Amino acid sequence: MMPSALRRLLPILLSVLPLFAHAQGFSILVSPPRFEDTTKAGAVYRNVIEINNTSPQATHLSVKTADWTLGPDSAVAFSSTLAADSCRPWVGIEANEVAFAGKGKRRFRFEVAVPANTPSGECRFAIMLEGDPQAVKGNVPVPVSGRIGVIVYLTIGDAHPQLQVAGSKAVSQQGRIVPVLRVQNSGYAHGRLEGFIDGRDAAGHKFTFVPSNLPILRGETRDIALVPQGDNDTIAAPAITYPLTLKGQLDYDSRHLVVDTSIAR
């Protein structure tokens, strides 16, 4: 099996790896790719995005905030239109435009001034970094620009997720059938599942599964795939003979999601 310490670190490593975007005349490295932090009502939260221009060419970026949604297919949709429950009016950014010399870098500051009467909840938005439109080779009718969205989750007060299993099924994913938990979040902040869950299939084989690291946003229900772990990085886990029995618990936000279900194809 993959060493347990490495498997436990994997979701953390994925969350802190820098974000890179490359397009015509746009080669930008951003760290961190997202912020997940806490604050309180009446406070001003401040943080910094590290931006590196990896191109030898000078680069100009426009910067703005956006609201966003996460679709059922896990695709992020950004919108400049202010959402009904948006906290973007609280957000201040250092500048709306920044310029970089070739191989230049910069620390870009932003802040969130939370009103004093704000109830516990979550402020969620994105900071969008967009390059100037560039012509591309071929018969493309409009210029194309590169864009990066740095997502911010800011928990206010004692808000927390409240996750429960709302169903389960088996789906085809990357050429194999994997179990999926349908997870509902009735809390006031997003949650991410982590840890390991054990299973036994109809052939008596034992499996260890790791949940997808997708966020379950407040008020939503999301399908979270459970990925079977092989003996090591080069040997995949064997095929599952359904029905599959899952029993144990997964972790989130210092809490536990109890899983006790059987999944048929």
Assigned CATH for 19-156:
2.60.40.10
Domain 163-263 has what CATH class? mainly beta
Mean pLDDT in consecutive groups of 10 residues from the start of the chain, 265 residues: 40 44 66 96 98 91 96 92 96 96 95 97 97 65 70 97 97 91 98 97 95 96 94 80 97 96 94
What ranges do the domains of the chain cover?
19-156, 163-263
pLDDT at position 139, please? 59
pLDDT at position 19, please? 56
pLDDT at position 238, please? 87
Cα dihedral 252→225→155→48 (10° resolution)? 110
Q: Residues with Cβ < 8 Å from 18, sequence gap 6 or more? A: 29, 30, 31, 32, 33, 50
Whether 19-156 shares its CATH topology with 163-263 is answered yes
pLDDT at position 20, please? 54
Closest Cα to residue 227, out of 196, 261, 185?
Answer: 196
Task: Give the residues across from 203 on adjacent strands.
Answer: none
